[in-house]
């Protein structure tokens, strides 16, 4: 059983290393790939199992995740007192840091985990949105016979049904327009117009989807958990728990 625990922790460490590379690539490309999702789901699963294996080895029960002192006492009956003291330190029902609560909720639904980007918005260009409702009109890019669009590697254009236009890594030439507003070839942005708002969205991190119904049931609303920092913290805490328990077992 101890070999299995060590193995799962080492697998999690390798997966986390791979996740860091996927993280950078997906943020750069503004995508959420299935490879990224699979690594996140796998790490959550691989880190939860060692905790349960550890306590089952000692007193035949799953790792205690309690919501009160009485609940903790009930879930650690039969566990040696010196181990109880260690497990108690990692309970969070009376703490501000709710790592264990979040870890429990996320690992329980790991197969259905979804991510969303955390976005920093700067006043530049990339996202063009109409300031008034364009009834029945989607986002539009206009080109005349003397104008063109060239794409840099990874460049894209997305036209929304609500009038939004998103683009990145493209260069306009000639007399182009976006939602009937002329594009300045020097800045590669639409000229000022009261009819549109221009902004640049930069993906800076991924969050576990805070709108997921199962997470809301377990954690409440408005809980924003950054994926990579949380998984890094989880690996370190799981390793600490295992090391401390094995040391005195």
- Considering only CA atoms, which of 92, 49, 41 is closest in space to residue 67? 92
pTM, full prediction: 0.71
- pLDDT at position 126: 46
Alpha helices in the chain (DSSP H): 2-29, 34-59, 69-75, 81-89, 99-108, 213-219, 227-248
- pLDDT at position 193: 81
- Considering only CA atoms, which of 177, 207, 202 is closest in space to residue 123? 202
SS (H, E, C) 96-158: CCCHHHHHHHHHHCHHHCCEEEEEEEEEEEEEEEECCCCCCCCCCEEECCCCEEEEEEEEEEE
- Tens of pLDDT along the chain (249 residues) come to 789 999 999 999 999 999 999 999 999 888 999 999 999 999 999 999 999 999 999 999 999 999 999 999 999 999 999 999 999 999 999 999 999 999 999 999 888 888 999 876 543 334 566 665 444 456 678 787 778 888 776 667 777 766 778 777 778 888 888 888 888 888 878 888 887 777 777 788 999 998 888 889 989 888 899 999 999 999 999 999 999 999 987
Q: What one-character DSSP code corresponds to residue 194?
A: T
Q: Residue 43, class by beta-carbon neighbours within 10 Å (0-12 exposed, 13-18 middle, 19+ buried)?
A: buried
State how beta strands 141-143 and 165-173 pair: unpaired
pLDDT tens, 206-249? 999 988 888 899 898 888 999 999 999 999 999 999 999 999 87
Rounded Cα distance between 218 and 123, Å, is: 37
Rounded Cα distance between 168 and 125, Å, is: 9
- pLDDT at position 135: 44
Rounded Cα distance between 98 and 86, Å, is: 17
The alpha carbon torsion through 68, 71, 72, 73 (nearest 10 deg) reads: 120
């Amino acid at each position: 059983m101890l070999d299995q625990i060590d193995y799962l922790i080492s697998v999690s460490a390798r997966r986390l290393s791979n996740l860091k590379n996927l993280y950078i690539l997906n943020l750069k490309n503004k995508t959420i790939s299935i490879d990224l999702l699979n690594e996140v789901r796998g790490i959550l699963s691989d880190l939860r199992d060692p905790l349960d294996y550890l306590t089952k080895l000692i007193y035949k029960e799953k790792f205690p995740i309690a919501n009160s002192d009485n609940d903790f006492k009930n879930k650690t009956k039969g566990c040696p007192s010196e181990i109880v003291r260690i497990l108690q330190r990692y309970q969070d029902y009376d703490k501000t840091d709710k790592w264990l609560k979040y870890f429990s909720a996320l690992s329980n639904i790991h197969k259905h985990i979804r991510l969303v980007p955390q976005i920093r918005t700067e006043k530049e260009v990339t996202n063009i949105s109409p300031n008034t409702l364009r009834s029945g009109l989607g986002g539009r890019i206009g080109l005349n016979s003397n104008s063109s669009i060239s794409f840099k590697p990874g460049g894209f254009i997305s036209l929304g049904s609500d009038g939004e236009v998103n683009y990145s890594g493209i260069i306009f030439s000639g007399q182009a327009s976006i939602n009937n507003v002329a594009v300045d070839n020097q800045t590669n942005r639409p000229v000022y117009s009261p009819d549109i708002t221009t902004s640049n969205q930069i993906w800076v991190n991924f969050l576990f989807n805070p709108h997921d119904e199962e997470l809301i049931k377990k954690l409440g609303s408005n809980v924003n958990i950054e994926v990579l920092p949380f998984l890094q913290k989880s690996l370190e805490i799981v390793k600490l728990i295992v090391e401390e328990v094995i040391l005195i077992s």
